[in-house]
């Protein structure tokens, strides 16, 4: 597996950032800019996303795609920590990225000095059973995602009126389009995160032990969320915070699940306050 890593600027103690499903590190550049006066910010593209390679997407007998297991993402994160000498870094993760960092800390306690997880997708088995009963299946939507466009301008026009990306700040959407698509020989552009890879990532969300092992997370951990009644809102974050050894909840009214991409400056300030080192 080739895992793409990125130096996002700044100086000071290291901060490792991990993106959400279907996105890539470039989408967190605006957030990183707001932290550059406190941290050296480093990011990595999860397997199957951005500039990282995509493993074979072969399903097993149960229909799962083991190569896209979130535990494998956590192993990749630990490989980045080892390869760049980031042991003891602080960490920020969004959605899947937050879950991946929690899994990495569970696998190797002491990897991170502190974690700021914005709506990490970690939940008890009952949550996933209820979600299936309600017809919640983001993997199905990912399978239908359009992968090829005539140009990046066509991509921007398409997403400018298509939720949920309409909520992204303009520069974040521009970064998503610029680095999230690869140029094809015929002049078209293609999603770097193939619909099949994104769908496999979503489908593997329930199949990890992050919830069961939250008590093994000893570093200070902030569980942030937007306001409202999101499935990963304040009630769910409170459940997570009491299960780790040192947890707290940070609610941001007016933000949604894509909060770090909607108001990166606001979230960066919260990350800096929570993870700032003396």
pLDDT digits (tens, 9 = 90+) for 65-124: 999 999 999 999 999 999 999 999 999 999 999 999 999 999 999 999 999 999 999 999
160 token code pair: 């400018």
Of the listed ranges 120-129, 211-220, 264-273, the least confidently predicted one is 120-129
Residue with tokens 């550059």: 36
Binned at pLDDT 50, 70 and 90, residue 269 comes out as: very high
Binned at pLDDT 50, 70 and 90, residue 200 comes out as: very high
Binned at pLDDT 50, 70 and 90, residue 125 comes out as: confident
What is the rounded CA–CA span in Å between residue 246 and residue 37? 26
Q: What is the pTM of this model?
A: 0.97
Percent of the chain residues topping a pLDDT of 70: 99
Binned at pLDDT 50, 70 and 90, residue 160 comes out as: confident
Q: What string of H, E and C letters represents the secondary structure of 152-217?
A: HHHHHHHHCCCCCHHHCCHHHHHHHHHHHEEECCCCCEEECCCHHHHHHHHHCCCCCCCCCCHHHC
Binned at pLDDT 50, 70 and 90, residue 230 comes out as: low
Q: What string of H, E and C letters represents the secondary structure of the chain?
A: CCCCEEECCCCCCEEEEECCCCCCHHHHHHHHHCCCCCCEEEEECCCCCCCCCCCCCCCCCCCCCHHHCHHHHHHHHHHHHHHHCCCCEEEEEECHHHHHHHHHHHHCCCCEEEEEEECCCCCCHHHHHHHHHCCCCHHHHHHCCCCEECCHHHHHHHHCCCCCHHHCCHHHHHHHHHHHEEECCCCCEEECCCHHHHHHHHHCCCCCCCCCCHHHCCCCEEEEEECCCCCCCHHHHHHHHCCCCCEEEEEECCCCCCHHHHCHHHHHHHHHHHHCCC
Mean pLDDT score, 136-147: 93
Pairing of strands 181-183, 40-44: unpaired
Is the predicted pLDDT of residue 229 greater than 70, yes or no?
Answer: no
What is the rounded CA–CA span in Å between residue 90 and residue 108? 14
Binned at pLDDT 50, 70 and 90, residue 276 comes out as: confident
94 token code pair: 């969004």
Q: Domains of the chain (ranges plus CATH)?
A: 5-139+197-275 (3.40.50.1820)
Is the link from the previous residue into 167 a cis peptide, with omega within 30 of 0?
no
pLDDT, tens digit, for every residue of 26-56? 999 999 999 999 999 999 999 999 999 999 9
- Residue 28's Cβ-count burial label (10 Å; 0-12, 13-18, 19+) is buried
Q: Please enumerate in sequence order all residues whose Cβ is within 8 A of that of 214, keeping only pairs 6 or more positions apart, or say none.
A: 102, 106, 122, 240, 243, 244
Mean pLDDT score, 236-260: 96
Name residue 7's beta-bridge partners: 42
Mean pLDDT score, 214-222: 97
- Order of strands across the sheet that contains 189-191: 148-149, 189-191, 181-183
Is the predicted pLDDT of residue 129 greater than 90, yes or no?
Answer: no
Please say whether the beta carbons of 264 and 172 come within 8 A. yes
* Averaged pLDDT score across all residues of the chain: 95
Binned at pLDDT 50, 70 and 90, residue 134 comes out as: confident
């Amino acid at each position: 597996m080739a895992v793409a890593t990125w130096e996002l600027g700044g100086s000071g103690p290291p901060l490792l950032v991990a993106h959400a499903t279907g996105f890539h590190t470039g989408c967190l550049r605006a957030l990183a800019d707001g932290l550059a006066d406190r941290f050296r910010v480093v990011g990595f593209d999860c397997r199957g996303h951005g500039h990282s390679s995509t493993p074979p997407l072969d399903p097993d007998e149960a229909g799962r795609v083991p190569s896209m297991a979130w535990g494998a993402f956590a192993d990749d994160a630990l490989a980045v920590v080892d390869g760049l000498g980031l042991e003891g870094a602080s960490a920020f993760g969004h959605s899947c990225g937050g879950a991946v960092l929690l899994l990495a800390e569970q696998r190797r306690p002491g990897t991170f000095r502190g974690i700021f997880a914005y709506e990490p997708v970690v939940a008890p088995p009952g949550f996933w059973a209820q979600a299936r009963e309600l017809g919640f299946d983001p993997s199905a939507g990912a399978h239908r995602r359009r992968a090829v466009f005539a140009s990046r301008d066509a991509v921007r026009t398409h997403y400018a009126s298509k939720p949920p990306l309409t909520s992204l700040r303009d520069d974040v959407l521009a970064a998503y389009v610029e680095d999230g698509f690869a140029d094809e020989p015929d002049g078209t552009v293609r999603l770097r995160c193939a619909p099949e890879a994104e769908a496999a990532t979503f489908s593997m969300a329930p199949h990890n032990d992050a919830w069961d092992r939250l008590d093994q997370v000893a570093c200070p951990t902030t569980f942030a969320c937007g306001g409202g009644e999101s499935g990963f809102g304040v009630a769910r974050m409170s459940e997570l915070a009491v299960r780790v050894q040192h947890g707290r909840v940070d609610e941001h009214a007016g933000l949604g699940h894509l909060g770090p991409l909607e108001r990166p400056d606001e979230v960066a300030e919260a990350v800096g306050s929570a993870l700032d080192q003396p």
